[in-house]
Structure 1
Amino acid sequence: MGTLALAAKITHVPSMYLSELDGPRKGSRQDAIDGHREIGRRCRELGVDTIVVFDSHWLVNANYHVNCGPHFQGLYTSNELPHFISNMAYEFPGHPDLGRVLARVCNDWKVETLAHDQTTLAPEYGTLVPMRYMNEDQHFRVISVSALCQAHYLNDSARLGWAMRRAVEDHYDGTVAFFASGSLSHRFAQNGLAPEYAFKVWSPFLEALDHEVVRMWQAGEWRQFCGMLPEYAAKGHGEGFMHDTAMLLGALGWSEYDGKAEVITPYFGASGTGQVNAVFPVTPVRGEMIPRAVASTADGYTSIATRL
């Protein structure tokens, strides 16, 4: 019925907003902004009507959650970095019907998920920043999914991603994009050193690790990457414990995925963290393969929350 047309791992660094404003940082993140606009252009070209964002800034302590209100509008100031994002205007349509379908099918696949279609809950900046550049004209409907998961297993997040693809392809008459919104390594610069690390990664180890991960993505080494994901999330300080990435790869077929990533915005450092915009081609999968692939590869995962 429906189509998952585009999948991507995207940055949402708040310095992209600073890059718009007059001052010393003006223009400094234009490459990341241009990457978002290119991904938005591709979505339009593919006929995408709805973007689903796995948002690693939406912290939850139980269940998975889908923010699918009918409309989102407001001014956003980051509680984490209010000197980076302050009074940033946003507005875009939501999609309650699809949000409810996504949650229902996730529950069918034994991943407890709640849809919030009548809520005052606003999206986090893992959704707001990308939509600022991809969806300026409010062309796309937007759904946000919690991906900063404090007490969750990565295998459940992978299964959620697969269930959401099944929801789109089996129960929705439209075209959707999935975005994993989060960094690679996410070790912020120590307090007092932030200006020195504005365009750097915190350590040579983390930078080298991130570069190897991007190389694996470009080479299509998914079995190896899925096998190392829990340890990478822990030792590599992965943002949101890398649940957004597990969701995205679950949707694509997990370790059986056979695509190769295309880097849109080359890897860069931001406040100590490692960032990239990369598109993962959506390839066909046989539905009966994925539950076994996810189960056999991920059932042994230790909760990242207990590893730290």
Structure 2
Amino acid sequence: MGSIVGAAIVSHHPGLMQCEEFRVLQGAGADSDLIPGYARLRAKLAEARPDVVVIFDSHWFTTGYHLVDGASRYQGNYISDEMPWYLHGVPYNYRGHPGLALEIEAVSRELGGYNRVINHPELGRQYATINLVKHLRLEHSDTPVVTVSSCQNCDWMHFVKSGEAIGEAVRRSNLRVALLASGALSHKFNPIDWKPNHPRIFHESNVSRPENIASDKGAIELLQQGRHGTVLDRWQDEYRKLPWEAFGAHYLQMVGAMGGADCRARGETLSAYENARGTGNVHMWFDMQEVAA
């Protein structure tokens, strides 16, 4: 029987893919705490010893289905169509896990969830996946990665249903799986002519609006307490309206796999809460082995 051995909300913002000198310059002499936060997350993953990492990619937008990449390997050079002037020429070469992908589709066809496999090794990658593969050194550890898309014609409960099927597929496997929700919390960008409120560009006061900061911090507190049911209860009236990145698809699919409203996994913050061009970002780890104990 398989199990989810850990899960995390993980920031992927593109500034983290820039060289250290540029980040420090942008940060008025202080680098982003999300960078050492990746090292903290690597330590958590090493302790959890997953056979496969599933990434819920808030940049891979699809229509009609939540797609699950099912090729055995992905290899190429990444260039961003969003920011090609500095996100280009990033080589990647990592394993997929066709077996788990196919099991996810089979369970989804049985139970619902609209998850379907796409098996094409030349399928384009998104930096919400590539950034995590690089910073978490999944290529070096040769850990298989399965990426799941965010289907754009869905409401929030459809993402939870997608995650439920994924969680059941994991349980029917013999795999130890870690789940990574790759994306931000509140996701309103500052305008192009924005002037920072604080000289440290990553500082939380540079998040787009005070109400977004307050809501993000409230959500972080609830997640630290393991109150996922309360987060879901507030979704439509608060977190959907702000909204979170990809309308929260990455978190909703992850928590669906973890048990949905019944999940009690407590979050441990692995980074400071930070700004990224107005969006609210944090790394947070959920120890599922602690829940099982």
Distance 1:196 1:62 in 2: 41
Aligned to 1:137: 140
The amino acid of 1:190's aligned partner reads P
Asked if 1:221 corresponds to 2:223, the answer is: no
Distance 1:55 1:204 in 2: 27
Which SS does the other structure have where 1:265 is aligned? Answer: coil
Aligned to 1:175: 176
Task: Tell me whether 234-243 or 192-201 shows the greater mean CA deviation.
Answer: 192-201
Asked if 1:279 corresponds to 2:285, the answer is: yes
| CA shift digits 1:119-177 (9 cap, x unpaired) | 42122111110111112514310010002x3211221211221211111111x222110
Gap regions ≥5 residues in structure 2: none
Which of 245, 252, 256 pairs up with 2:258?
Answer: 252
Gap regions ≥5 residues in structure 1: 286-308
Matches within 5 A, 1:129-208: 129-134=131-136, 135-147=138-150, 149-170=151-172, 172-193=173-194, 198-199=201-202, 200-208=206-214
The amino acid of 1:74's aligned partner reads G
Q: Tell me the TM-score normalized by structure 2.
A: 0.89
Distance 1:77 1:194 in 2: 28
Distance 2:79 2:263 in 1: 38
**Cα offset for 1:22?**
5.4
Distance 2:241 2:30 in 1: 29
**Cα offset for 1:34?**
2.0
The amino acid of 1:56's aligned partner reads S
Aligned to 2:95: 93
Aligned sequence identity (%): 27
Distance 1:168 1:261 in 2: 21
Distance 1:25 1:192 in 2: 16
Q: Alpha carbons of 1:41 and 1:139: their partners in 2 closer, same or farther (altered >3 Å)?
A: farther
The amino acid of 2:13's aligned partner reads V
**Cα offset for 1:84?**
4.0
Task: Tell me whether 25-34 or 246-255 shows the greater mean CA deviation.
Answer: 25-34
Which SS does the other structure have where 2:271 is aligned? Answer: strand
Distance 2:187 2:285 in 1: 20
Q: Alpha carbons of 1:138 and 1:116: their partners in 2 closer, same or farther (altered >3 Å)?
A: farther
The amino acid of 2:148's aligned partner reads V
Q: Alpha carbons of 1:211 and 1:269: their partners in 2 closer, same or farther (altered >3 Å)?
A: same
Q: Tell me the TM-score normalized by structure 1.
A: 0.85
